[in-house]
């Protein structure tokens, strides 16, 4: 198996002069070549890239892994549980929200008061989950009863939850990761000595960081990024608690070599051939 540099993907992108930001929890790459970032490459590479950034800055970054519905507690209250997973360690954490699991009115699909199909739930604007969704900047579903069809959009977001002494998530409105290119590049420069490949990294940095975020975010952001875009801020917090370890969510890449067997050039070649 070919050994990869701990920050090999970051090093390759920086050496190309590419610009990397994380804005309101969304990864935004602005290539120096001004060519669009292929969606397939971004989907296959974003987890690895964020893992390198998390390791570089020593922060715990979580992504959405799934959800379930059920009746919880002594009073069997209806609820929906979100599962988030640490992209670096595989540790997971959970958040439970109050929801409704029965029909509010009679339709062709069932009578009022009957149970909704497994995985479906409904809420109103007064529910905490509605506030949570708004905080992500994702577009709302056309109907509040159709969230179950849009939950996968949460995979676009990178969260930085904080935990209490019992390893429970403190707040259900979880902060989103915000990092600007300069922060990542500055820390990267401290870890990777400049050589022939990286000596020109600083050149595109000064030019790009003067660009407003609304210019760099539009071409390559994931669909669903809405609302005001924040400026770069160190609003990440360190938290290393968690519970059960589960498998790494890095997607499988359809290439000749497996991701862990590919060289930097092979990874970037997937981009350029897309």
Q: What is the DSSP string of 128-188?
A: HHHHHHHHHTPPPPSSGGGGGGTGGGGGG--B---B-TTS-BS-SSPPBP-B-HHHHHHHH
Q: What's the total number of domains in the chain? A: 2
What are the beta bridge partners of residue 30?
A: 19
Within this chain, do residues 40 and 69 fall inside the same structural domain, yes or no? no
Q: Of 56, 50, 33, 11, whose CA–CA distance to 271 is shortest?
A: 33
The continuous run of DSSP H or E covering 22 comes out as strand 19-23
Within this chain, do residues 205 and 122 fall inside the same structural domain, yes or no? no
Within this chain, do residues 73 and 148 fall inside the same structural domain, yes or no? yes
**Measured between alpha carbons, how far is 274 from 242 in angstroms, rounded to an integer?**
37
Q: How far is CA 141 from CA 65, 145, 147, 170, in A?
A: 19, 8, 6, 27
Query: Could you give the count of Cα atoms lying within 13 Å of 123 in the half-sphere of its Cβ?
Result: 22
Task: Look at residue 172 and tell me if it is in a domain.
Answer: no
Task: Look at residue 266 and tell me if it is in a domain.
Answer: no
Residue 267: strand, helix, or coil: helix
CB atoms within 10 A of CB 256: 8
Task: Look at residue 205 and tell me if it is in a domain.
Answer: yes
Q: What is the pTM of this model?
A: 0.69
What are the beta bridge partners of residue 100?
A: 122
Query: Could you give the count of Cα atoms lying within 13 Å of 220 in the half-sphere of its Cβ?
Result: 25
Q: Of 94, 53, 81, whose CA–CA distance to 177 is shortest?
A: 53
Q: Which residues of 204-235 are buried (b: 16+ CB within 10 A; e: fewer)?
A: bbeebbeeebeebbeebbbebbeeebeebeee
Within this chain, do residues 50 and 80 fall inside the same structural domain, yes or no? no
Query: Could you report the average pLDDT of every consecutive run of 10 residues in the chain (274 residues)?
Result: 65 92 94 90 90 93 96 92 94 94 81 89 95 96 94 96 85 94 92 51 41 38 38 41 34 42 56 57
Give the distance, in angstroms, between the CA of residue 49 and the centroid of all CA atoms in the same chain.
Answer: 11
Per the structure, the complete domain to which residue 209 belongs is given by 8-59+181-238
Q: Which of 123, 156, 189 is the last residue of a domain?
A: 156
| Strands of the sheet with 92-98, listed across from one edge | 62-72, 77-86, 92-98
**Measured between alpha carbons, how far is 64 from 16 in angstroms, rounded to an integer?**
30
**Measured between alpha carbons, how far is 27 from 16 in angstroms, rounded to an integer?**
18
Task: Look at residue 169 and tell me if it is in a domain.
Answer: no
**Measured between alpha carbons, how far is 46 from 177 in angstroms, rounded to an integer?**
14
């Amino acid at each position: 198996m070919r050994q990869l540099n701990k920050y090999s993907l970051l090093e390759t992108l920086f050496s190309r002069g590419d610009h990397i930001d994380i804005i309101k929890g969304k990864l935004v790459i602005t290539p120096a070549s001004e060519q669009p970032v292929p969606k397939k490459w971004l989907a296959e590479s974003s987890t690895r890239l964020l893992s390198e950034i998390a390791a570089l800055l020593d922060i715990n970054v979580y992504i959405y892994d799934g959800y379930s519905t059920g009746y919880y507690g002594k009073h069997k209250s209806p609820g929906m549980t979100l599962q988030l997973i640490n992209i670096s360690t595989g540790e997971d954490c959970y958040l439970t929200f109050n929801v409704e699991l029965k029909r509010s009115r009679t339709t062709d699909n069932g009578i009022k008061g009957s149970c909704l199909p497994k995985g479906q739930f409904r809420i109103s604007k007064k529910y905490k989950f509605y506030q949570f969704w708004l905080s992500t900047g994702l577009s709302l579903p056309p109907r509040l009863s159709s969230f179950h069809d849009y939950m996968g959009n949460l995979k676009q977001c990178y969260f930085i939850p904080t935990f209490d002494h019992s390893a429970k998530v403190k707040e259900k409105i979880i902060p989103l990761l915000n990092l600007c290119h300069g922060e990542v590049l500055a820390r990267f420069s401290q870890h990777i000595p400049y050589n022939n490949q990286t000596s020109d990294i600083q050149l595109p940095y000064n030019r790009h960081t003067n660009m407003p975020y609304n210019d760099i975010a539009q071409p390559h952001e994931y669909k669903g990024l809405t609302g005001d875009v924040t400026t770069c801020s160190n609003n990440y917090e360190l938290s290393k608690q968690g519970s059960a370890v589960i498998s790494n969510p890095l997607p499988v890449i359809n290439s000749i070599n497996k991701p862990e067997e590919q060289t930097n050039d092979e990874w970037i070649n997937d981009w350029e051939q897309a």
